[in-house]
Amino acid sequence: MPAYRYEAADAAGRADRGVIEADSPKQARTQLRARGLTPITVDPLAGAGLAPRTGSSVLVRRLSTQEQALFTRQLASLIVSGLPLDEALGALADQAERQYVHELLAGIRAEVMGGSSLSVALAQHPKDFPDIYRALVSAGEHSGHLGVVLERLATYIETRNQLTSKIRLAFTYPAIVTVVAFAIVIFLLSYVVPQVVSVFANTKQKLPTLTIVMLALSDFVRNWWWAALGVIAVATLAIRSVLRQPDVRLAWHRWLLTAPLVGKLIRGYNTARFASTLAILVSAGVPILRSLQAAGETLTNLALKTNVDDATTRVREGASLARALAAQNQFPPVLVHLIRSGEATGNLPIMLERAAIGESQELERRTLFLTSLLEPLLILTMGVVVLLIVLAVLMPIIEINQLVR
């Protein structure tokens, strides 16, 4: 049964908004009038996506990863407990805190009640449920174990969110220190240095070299800051334009994998996502070629993604997965060895999951090590810059004191 988003007014003139299920817009208006409401607008909810809606109740027109994980976990629990799919979706829609989520789940429920499978209903909303999500749901429906597959999927999303959150939190403090340091330096150069050093301008005293350099920097910050911002903006746009070219972008991503410090973080993050995604797809019974394509879409590095595309072609031609991934020597050897062991013993999902856990732990360790180096380095750099500014201010004063004596 289709669903419609409505806006109506009650007898007192108060606005009422929500979602209603009906066979047609006319029937939806009839149901609203039966509730004592006067329909203002009735728009179809299901389809290729949800239509934009004005108002402060909707801030983000997309399902967040946290909401996606919560929805998957709750839906799995309801289905495992024996609740029919349409009733489970209805219950989740009723308890949704955000209006967009409520309308999204109501639209999915309408599709399911109209005869569509859950995976087909989710395909109407590709921005909220990516390809890997729908592939796993489809595999669960075909195997008859939708609840179990949804539980695995919820665990996968939660683990991925935790890894991303840990990395972001690890770099939050260095980012804050960097911003504060720049703000302090700009304030000192644009206000403090000119105010103090201008006192010596009328004395016709020869200023120290460091003071002259600081005054020049101060004049540049005060008078040419807009030019500096313009150069940075133009350079950023130029770099982004160049990186849009496939060959240049591929070469850049290949270099990133070998870059000092950052390269191992990028490789580890992508490897963990690829291995965990491939593990859950294979364990759910998704064909290996389809699993490789879906897992490759989760990669953010184009060089690794190209490696997966090449491996997919090799596997299609009859090569083993381990040999196909090792052909371009982009993924860590540990992952290749574990996949080879899994193929030999028939425990490929287990070995992939073990590889994902190992890469995640190694990534966390490297992230903490890098941030532990960045924090004192940033503080030391900030201290040196402030020291130079203070010396630039104090050196003329020291020279005047020496002349007086």
Tens digits of residue pLDDT in 244-270: 999 999 999 999 999 988 899 999 999
pLDDT of residue 57: 41
Please answer whether residues 5 and 19 qualify as being in contact, where contact means their C-beta atoms are separated by less than 8 angstroms: yes
pLDDT of residue 399: 73
Please answer whether residues 15 and 2 qualify as being in contact, where contact means their C-beta atoms are separated by less than 8 angstroms: no
**Cβ atoms within 10 Å of 400's Cβ, excluding its own:** 14
Confidence bin at 204 (pLDDT 50/70/90)? low
Q: What is the mean pLDDT of the chain?
A: 84
Does the pLDDT value for residue 272 go beyond 60? yes
pLDDT of residue 210: 84
Mean pLDDT (whole number) for 200-218: 77
Mean pLDDT (whole number) for 211-230: 86
Residues belonging to the chain: 405
CA Rg value for the chain: 30
pLDDT of residue 2: 65
Residue 19 DSSP SS3? strand
Of 129, 131, 162, which is closest to residue 295 (Cα–Cα)?
A: 131
Of 218, 358, 198, which is closest to residue 279 (Cα–Cα)?
A: 358
Confidence bin at 186 (pLDDT 50/70/90)? confident
pTM over 0.85? The answer is: no
**Cα-based angle 285, 67, 105 (whole degrees, multiple of 5):** 80
71: its two tokens: 């929805």
Q: What is the DSSP letter of 189?
A: I
Percent of the chain with pLDDT over 90: 26
Please answer whether residues 132 and 106 qualify as being in contact, where contact means their C-beta atoms are separated by less than 8 angstroms: no
Confidence bin at 403 (pLDDT 50/70/90)? low
Confidence bin at 52 (pLDDT 50/70/90)? very low
**Cβ atoms within 10 Å of 284's Cβ, excluding its own:** 22
User: Higher confidence at residue 142 or residue 254?
Assistant: 254
Mean pLDDT (whole number) for 209-238: 88
Please answer whether residues 143 and 308 qualify as being in contact, where contact means their C-beta atoms are separated by less than 8 angstroms: no
Does the pLDDT value for residue 51 go beyond 50? no
Does the pLDDT value for residue 338 go beyond 90? yes
Of 154, 147, 151, 118, which is closest to residue 135 (Cα–Cα)?
A: 118
Of 156, 137, 127, 157, which is closest to residue 66 (Cα–Cα)?
A: 157
Q: What is the DSSP letter of 190?
A: I
Mean pLDDT (whole number) for 116-140: 87
Confidence bin at 59 (pLDDT 50/70/90)? very low
Contact partners, residue 261, CB within 8 Å, separation at least 6: 370
Return the H-helix or E-strand segment holding 42.
Answer: strand 38-44
